[in-house]
Amino acid sequence: MGDTGSRPPQLRPGRALAHTPGASGSGSPHRSDSRSPQTPRGARRPDPDGRFGTTPPVPGRPTFLLGLLGFLGLPALLFALITWQVAAHGPLARADERLSHTLAHPDRVSEILADLGNVTVAVPLLAVVLGYVAWRARAAGRERWWLPSLAAAVLMAVVPALIVPLKELVARPGPPVMGPGTGTGTGFFPSGHTATAVIAYGGAALVLMPWLRSTGARRALLVGCLALNLGVAFGLIRRGYHWPLDVAASWCLCAVLLRSLWLLLSRNDRRPK
């Protein structure tokens, strides 16, 4: 009652203006008479999807889906485009044939590189790696030690189930005969040797990667895998066994398959051991 007048309110020593006692005299600040100054993280209500809507940043599903579709959808779209052009003998297929006539010059080196895509070469190597990884995982006490090796083996078995019907459906003639050992006919699209090499060497690299301790060893494994597949592609085209688009289509198809294997292995690694 003694402070009535036209003077500005006077600050009292030892107290901040924002934290003077409320009207009830309870000692709580004026700005938050009945709640704490800040809502704790654990007290926030989640949205219907179970995510805390007020916690920045919010991981949205569209970002994940766009990334997934970009990685899986782009190779699939390219594969569909190439298949359409080859089946219809469109401008891309005609340019592919002209390019093949320029690139094809068979020699012994190209034949050896092409042979790296043979089932008798690539699949035994994959089997050895899968057996080693399964042994390591079981020795380490992994709960699902068999899953990575089994998944890669199943993926390898899926390759002929996809490639053979596509060869019959498209029925693309082979390149001109480039020397002894080459043949004519149909069923050259997509390249089975390329698909065998990509899945065998790529699958082996994916299941073996977690067991390599150093970053240098992992990089060397990836570089070796890439070099093998590039060598097979070069050999097939240079030797005249396949048109370039036969190889490119197999790469696109196998990119989707290997990405699916990688997603499965990643989910398995995140499971509690």
Predicted local distance difference test score (pLDDT) of residue 46: 52
Q: Do the beta carbons of residue 163 and residue 192 sit within 8 Å?
A: yes
Provide CB contacts within 8 A for 104, sequence distance 6+.
175, 176, 178, 237, 238, 239, 240
For residue 119, give both structure tokens.
């089932």
Helix pair angle (244-270, 147-170), 10° resolution = 160
Q: What are phi and psi of 263, to 5 degrees?
A: -65, -40
User: Per-residue DSSP letters for 205-256?
Assistant: HHHHGGG--SHHHHHHHHHHHHHHHHHHHHHHHHHTSS-HHHHHHHHHHHHH
Closest C-alpha to 251, from 216, 202, 214, 182:
202
Instruction: Please confirm whether the linkage preceding 57 is cis (ω < 30° from 0).
Output: yes
Exposed, middle or buried by CB within 10 Å (0-12, 13-18, 19+), for 163? buried
> What is the three-class DSSP state of 161?
helix
Do residues 105 and 237 lie in contact, with contact meaning Cβ atoms separated by under 8 Å? Answer: no
* C-alpha pair distances (Å), 270 with each of 263, 264, 265, 266: 11, 10, 9, 6
What does the pLDDT read at residue 186?
81
Identify the pLDDT of residue 176: 81
Measured CA to CA, the distance from residue 124 to residue 119 in angstroms comes to 8
One digit per residue, the tens of pLDDT, for the chain of length 273 reads: 545 555 555 555 555 444 444 444 445 455 545 555 555 555 555 555 544 444 444 444 455 455 555 567 899 999 999 999 999 999 999 999 999 999 998 899 999 999 999 999 999 999 999 999 999 999 988 888 999 999 999 999 999 999 999 999 999 998 886 544 445 578 899 999 999 999 999 999 999 999 998 999 999 999 999 999 999 999 999 999 999 999 999 999 999 999 999 988 888 776 545
Q: Residue 173 corresponds to which tokens in the numbers above?
A: 């003639």
Q: pTM of the prediction?
A: 0.72
